[in-house]
Copies of this chain bind each other. A is one copy, B any other.
Amino acid sequence: MSDVAFFGLGQMGMAMAVRLLEAGHRLTVYNRTADKAFLLEAKGALPAASPEQAVTAGGTLITMVSDDRALRALVDDRVLSRLGPDGVHLSMSTVSPETARMLAESHTARAVHYVACPVFGRPEAAAAGKLWLCVAGQASTKDRVRPLLEAMGQGVFDFGTEPAAANIVKLAGNFLIAAAIEAMAEALSLAEKGGVDPKAVHELLAQTLFACPIYQNYGRAIVQGRFSPPGFSLALGAKDVRLVRDTARAEQVPMPLAGLLEDRFLRSLANGRGDLDWTAIALDQREACGMRDPSQPPEAG
């Protein structure tokens, strides 16, 4: 059994695990539904039948799961007592700072080092080792996991010793992305209803003031009305906006734009769009304007 365990083989986790294997790391992998773990066997990974069996004493555990509940459930007492003392948990999921604080504490009690390292980037970036990583935790532990981070990311940003800090940064970043999607959805619907070609508007913006990946890629999805397959699902986006609001509550930070986004996502979920890409909140904006879904053929008549 190798000394790096990897839990969570969703779209992102799978791409990250493959990348680590390609970079020469030996992984024992675990996923709630076992078939995904077996897929990685061909790439040299060792599938584990249970979380406890995947981790080794004093070794490293990487987790990449979908939400706070899944993470808390997965890294339980049995896993921690097998991993510690001196094991490392490199926690890469997008979870709340509150969960990070709680886990950091429970890990310390077992002498396991907890490093938070949420990531920015879609599955393609993960597959190419081009993620952006936000890391926070004890300095010596961050040094220890550095080779793993370098295999996965094109850049590592350090936010100090409190793990929760990295989670706050990740939430702030996802909030900014959701805000940019909302802003583009509103601006492009104004243009379209005002008789201007939204593609031309997007081209101008994406080449000039907003010549950056978020506006270029998400803007293109909006003007093309292409919301499936999802790079990041609307349901997961809704979860992250919720985490932003929860953190804002806890810190007493009014965030009216986050509040507006929460309602936009709720409306989209309530109307069955959870499985589309999160740019599909633009469909709700189109309906708000009385405009047609761009992915549908025009109605006859």
Min C-beta distance of A163 to chain B, whole Å: 12
| A261-286 residues at the B interface, CB under 8 angstroms | 262-264, 266-267, 269-272, 285
A83 contacts the other chain (Cβ, under 8 Å)? Answer: no
A221 contacts the other chain (Cβ, under 8 Å)? Answer: no
A195 contacts the other chain (Cβ, under 8 Å)? Answer: yes
Q: Known: A175-B187, A270-B289. Contact between A193 and B252, CB under 8 A? A: yes
| A129-187 residues at the B interface, CB under 8 angstroms | 132, 134, 155, 157, 159-160, 162, 164-165, 168-169, 171-173, 175-177, 179-180, 182-184, 186-187
Q: Is the CB of B263 within 8 A of A262?
A: no
Q: Is the CB of A289 within 8 A of B195?
A: no
Query: Which residue of B has the minimal Cβ distance to A207?
Result: B155
A97 contacts the other chain (Cβ, under 8 Å)? Answer: yes
B contact residues around A132 at 8 Å (CB): 204, 208-209
Min C-beta distance of A61 to chain B, whole Å: 25
Q: Is the CB of B249 within 8 A of A176?
A: no
B contact residues around A38 at 8 Å (CB): none
Interface centre among A171, A190, A201, A269 (most CB of B within 10 A): A190
Copies of this chain in the oligomer: 4
A70 contacts the other chain (Cβ, under 8 Å)? Answer: no
Which residues on A are within 8 Å of B, measured CB to CB?
97, 120, 132, 134, 155, 157, 159-160, 162, 164-165, 168-169, 171-173, 175-177, 179-180, 182-184, 186-191, 193-197, 200-201, 203-205, 207-215, 242, 244-245, 247-249, 251-260, 262-264, 266-267, 269-272, 285, 287-290
Q: Known: A252-B290, A258-B186. Contact between A205 and B173, CB under 8 A? A: yes
B contact residues around A267 at 8 Å (CB): 254, 288
Give 13 pairs: A residue, B residue, CB < 8 Å, sorted on A. Answer: A97-B194, A157-B203, A169-B201, A171-B190, A173-B209, A175-B183, A176-B187, A186-B257, A194-B247, A209-B212, A251-B289, A252-B269, A271-B287
